[in-house]
Amino acid sequence: MKNKFILSGLAAITALASTASADQTIDITGATAFRTAAITTIIASYGAGMDDFAHTGAIGLAGIQGARQSIFKGDFPGLPDKTIIRCTWTGSVEGIQTVATQITQDFLAESALTATGAPIVNDTVAVPSVTGTALLPAGTNLVIPDLAFSDVYPTSSPFNVDNVVDSTPGVVVFTPVVNEGAPSGLTNVQAGQLRTLFGTGNQPLNYFFPTSDVRKAYATGRSDFSGTRTTYLAETGYGISLPVQQHKPVTNGAAAGAATLAISTLQIWPTNDGNNKSLVWGPDKVGNGGFESSSSLRVAFGGTSTAVQRKNSAGGNLGSPENLLLISVFGISDATTAITNGAKALTYNGVGITPASPLSAGDIAKITEGAYTFWSYQHLMYNSTNDTTEMQAVLAELTNNLPANLGTAGVDINLMNVSRDDDGATVAP
């Protein structure tokens, strides 16, 4: 945190003692499914007051919207001096944990704004026409976050949330997705079919629709730090704390969206998979892991899967290469990217939406009127023991600007004519 001193003539000594002021830093963590809307809202909140920003994604607006870490600096409405906002997107449940239990998270250091080298990207401030050059990693700061976005209620976690102050500024929408190469007849999935799939790990295609296609569909998805996973287990009635049987797809290394992208191996999720382990519910259970981020998961869904070597949890081969499919659930932003690269959205319980930016008026109506129920509230929360005037100013500005910057992530809370009392609860007027 950098101190500034305002000195004036003969009053310099007095000013040095009494008028010191400081830049303020607000740290935000949580939901990866909502980060596109969150980043867009942060940029809109700074407006012309933004001086600089850096991030760990690719150059351009899409890069910063998909980056795990980012940092912004400039004049922020309602606050003196300069305001630094730093983001590290980890997942909803991990965001709840860090805010509720006041543990540290890693954030980019302010020096990332002026570093040189690679791979941190320091774009110009001409958003959205951003350009820039790759920059050197400037290190991280371990601090307790001020705010966390979450796709699920704080009570959908095992952490003590007595001091958590929660608000719901929006609705975040999800859709089931199948990877590239699915037959035309696979168009819909029922809640009960998803329950069975995530419980057993795989099902033949004729379990989902009448077909002579002998392929199987395999379950894959997120770790239990994820609000996306919490949502699909709650919405389908599976149970958010129950272990699942998910698989880890590995692609051939081609770039996402490339015609040659293919899934090369598919392993039942091992228990020693670093950041992709499940650590909240049922840790160290084979199959219970999942991707830390949907941005990693969605890559595989743009790949073909005609000759996939299946593996057990120890990495040993299971039979010969197999022609198979993958099914999972994505937030709308990630689903849009996966579909652009070749995947296909499935309707849910006979009702579907078309992932797009923005959602069509017809699809929004399906959500706001209760026809489509694969959604949850987007929460923005903080710990009352870590309350500051600066944090409240940022919270208020983000909350005010979110409805106009939701993009593909979700729906304005003010449009909803239905509600639900908890994650996965009945949707009703």
- 88-115: pLDDT as tens digits: 998 899 999 999 999 999 999 998 887 6
In this prediction, residue 123 carries a pLDDT of 66
Tell whether the model's pLDDT for residue 235 goes beyond 50.
Answer: yes
Tell whether the model's pLDDT for residue 117 goes beyond 80.
Answer: no
C-alpha 347/C-alpha 271 separation (Å) is: 32
> CA separation (Å) from 351 to 185, 267, 370, 373, 400?
15, 32, 11, 9, 31
Helix (H) and strand (E) counts in the chain: 10, 24
Q: How confident is the model at residue 21 (pLDDT cuts 50, 70, 90)?
A: low
Q: How confident is the model at residue 62 (pLDDT cuts 50, 70, 90)?
A: confident
Higher pLDDT, 115 or 63: 63
Q: What is the mean pLDDT of residues 372-382?
A: 96
Tell whether the model's pLDDT for residue 312 goes beyond 70.
Answer: yes
- Where do runs of H (alpha helix) occur along 303-360? 332-340
Higher pLDDT, 404 or 125: 404
Percent over 70 (pLDDT), the chain: 89
In this prediction, residue 257 carries a pLDDT of 79
Mean pLDDT of the chain: 88
DSSP label at residue 237 = T
Question: What are the beta bridge partners of residue 173?
Answer: 375
Tell whether the model's pLDDT for residue 83 goes beyond 90.
Answer: yes
Least confident of 13-17, 212-216, 373-377, 384-388: 13-17
Query: What stretch of H or E contains 169?
Result: strand 164-178
Q: How confident is the model at residue 59 (pLDDT cuts 50, 70, 90)?
A: confident
In this prediction, residue 166 carries a pLDDT of 95
In this prediction, residue 10 carries a pLDDT of 32
Q: In order of start, what are the domains of the chain with their CATH numbers?
A: 3-169+379-415 (no CATH), 173-368 (3.40.190.10)
C-alpha 157/C-alpha 225 separation (Å) is: 9
In this prediction, residue 72 carries a pLDDT of 94
CA torsion angle for 190, 302, 93, 387 (degrees, to 10)?
-130
Higher pLDDT, 276 or 322: 322
Percent over 90 (pLDDT), the chain: 68
Tell whether the model's pLDDT for residue 12 goes beyond 70.
Answer: no
Q: How big is the chain by its Cα radius of gyration, in Å? A: 22
